[in-house]
Amino acid sequence: MSAAAGADHARQLPEGADAASPLLEIRGLRVSFTLSDGRRLTAVDGINLSVAPGEAVGLAGESGSGKSTAVGAIMGLLAPNGRIDAGSIRYRGLDLAAKGAPLRRTRWREIAVVFQGSLVALNPVIKVRDQVAEAIELRLGEPAEVAQEKAKLLLHDVGIPEKRINAYPHQLSGGQRQRAMLAVALSCSPAVLIGDEPTTALDVIVQAQILELLDRMRQEYGLGLILITHDLAVIADMCDRVAIMYAGRIVESGSVKEIFSAPRHPYTQALLGAAPDARAGRRTIKVLEGHPPDLSALPPGCHFAPRCPLADARCREEDPPTIEYADQVTLACHRYSLGDGKLPTPIDAPYPTLELGKR
């Protein structure tokens, strides 16, 4: 039996949560930061996102699109100048965005996160086994000996060799440290695991090993996994569903199969054009030109319009609403008619020779 097995998770649910409600469901989440000049920057602008037990959902989008801010809101880890302006983050029905939501420590029992750069996240002066044990003691209230034993099993589970479990973080390789971070994250048998670019700093071989480990943990523990990565090929490999973020919005989402085989939003098409391995038949890497907009001074209309080869006058004036189509596909683009909810046919014309930004 694995140390992190979540068999008794149900009785650990925080007060007010309901085991019959969806695992994690975010609706209309809006998060902003106050800048030093007093202006507000909306980093996450009304996103919907959910994950079910055992499901893997990929979240992708350029740097600055709001992925980590969304994670910060879920975990109660926003910077002091950040706040949730609207929306709900329901964990088993309990709204973590509401006033009086459980304290961070309580929610970390249910939802765990692994960030990039484990050397910063791990305490350099505490041995890894003690760090995992400490998390178990603190968050689950287990006695020290039990916590030490569980920590040992868990470190074994994530692939740290027995002779290394009493090492300090700096004595481990980058991959081993990321495994140790995963052990800390799993120490309280969470139901949801969020990986915020968990393998970005690692070489490709170790990256593949850690991703494989995440996938195994998801299956073994029935975790709902939200995987944030710039690597669409990883999402194509590991995830059931994908959400594409641009300038604080989810511009397109749906099953990996649907979105990667028939991307509709010009931004998704551009990202896939820049990731040839994620999409069969694409061999030439095309560069997505231009930059995401300044989120503190957004122009009217579609946020992608300045870079979009399909943009017209309407795009520059009106913000496209997010429409939900069949098969859980959502899309925010004027070029697709609101129609009757059936899946729209992708507009593909400009993309065999995609050159965004050169209109």
Ligand X SMILES: Nc1ncnc2c1ncn2[C@@H]1O[C@H](COP(=O)(O)OP(=O)(O)OP(=O)(O)O)[C@@H](O)[C@H]1O
CB of 76 to ligand X, least distance (A): 15
CB of 300 to Mg ion, least distance (A): 27
CB of 302 to ligand SF4, least distance (A): 3
The string of DSSP codes covering 168-186 is -GGGS-HHHHHHHHHHHHH
Decide which of ligand X, Mg ion, ligand SF4, none touches 304; Cβ closer than 5 to 8 Å per partner kind: ligand SF4
Residue from 33, 221, 246, 336 that binds ligand X (CB under 6 A)?
33
Q: How far apart are CA 121 and CA 164, in angstroms?
A: 18
Token couple for 333:
């683009």
Q: How far apart are CA 84 and CA 104, in angstroms?
A: 15
Residue from 68, 106, 131, 268 that binds ligand X (CB under 6 A)?
68
Stretch that binds ligand X, among 47-55, 60-68, 122-130, 329-337 (CB under 6 A): 60-68
As to burial, measured by CB atoms within 10 angstroms (0-12 exposed, 13-18 middle, 19+ buried), residue 309 is: middle
Residue from 63, 337, 345, 353 that binds ligand X (CB under 6 A)?
63
209-to-60, 179, 228, 259 alpha-carbon distances in Å: 21, 10, 17, 26
Residue from 82, 87, 224, 254 that binds ligand X (CB under 6 A)?
82
According to the binding rule CB under 6 A, does residue 333 interact with ligand SF4? yes
According to the binding rule CB under 6 A, does residue 59 interact with ligand SF4? no
Q: How far apart are CA 32 and CA 143, in angstroms?
A: 41
Query: Is 81 or 284 the residue whose CB approaches ligand X more closely?
Result: 81
Q: How far apart are CA 161 and CA 106, in angstroms?
A: 30
CB of 115 to ligand X, least distance (A): 10
CB of 312 to Mg ion, least distance (A): 32
According to the binding rule CB under 6 A, does residue 229 interact with ligand X? no
Which stretch of DSSP H or E encloses residue 226? strand 224-228
Q: Which of 192, 188, 199 is nearest to 218 (CA)?
A: 192
Decide which of ligand SF4, Mg ion, ligand X, none touches 333; Cβ closer than 5 to 8 Å per partner kind: ligand SF4
Task: Give the list of residues 6+ apart from residue 175 with CB closer than 8 angstroms, or none.
Answer: 202, 206, 209, 210
Residue from 18, 19, 81, 291 that binds ligand X (CB under 6 A)?
81
Q: How far apart are CA 156 and CA 179, in angstroms?
A: 10
Q: How far apart are CA 138 and CA 123, in angstroms?
A: 15
Query: Is 90 or 335 the residue whose CB approaches ligand SF4 more closely?
Result: 335
Residue 354 near residue 269 (C-beta atoms within 8 A): yes
Decide which of ligand X, Mg ion, ligand SF4, none touches 295; Cβ closer than 5 to 8 Å per partner kind: ligand X
Residue from 71, 114, 133, 311 that binds ligand SF4 (CB under 6 A)?
311
Contact footprint for ligand SF4 (CB under 6 A): 265-266, 302, 304-305, 308, 310-311, 315, 320, 333-335
Contact footprint for ligand X (CB under 6 A): 33, 35, 41, 43, 61, 63-69, 79, 81-82, 295
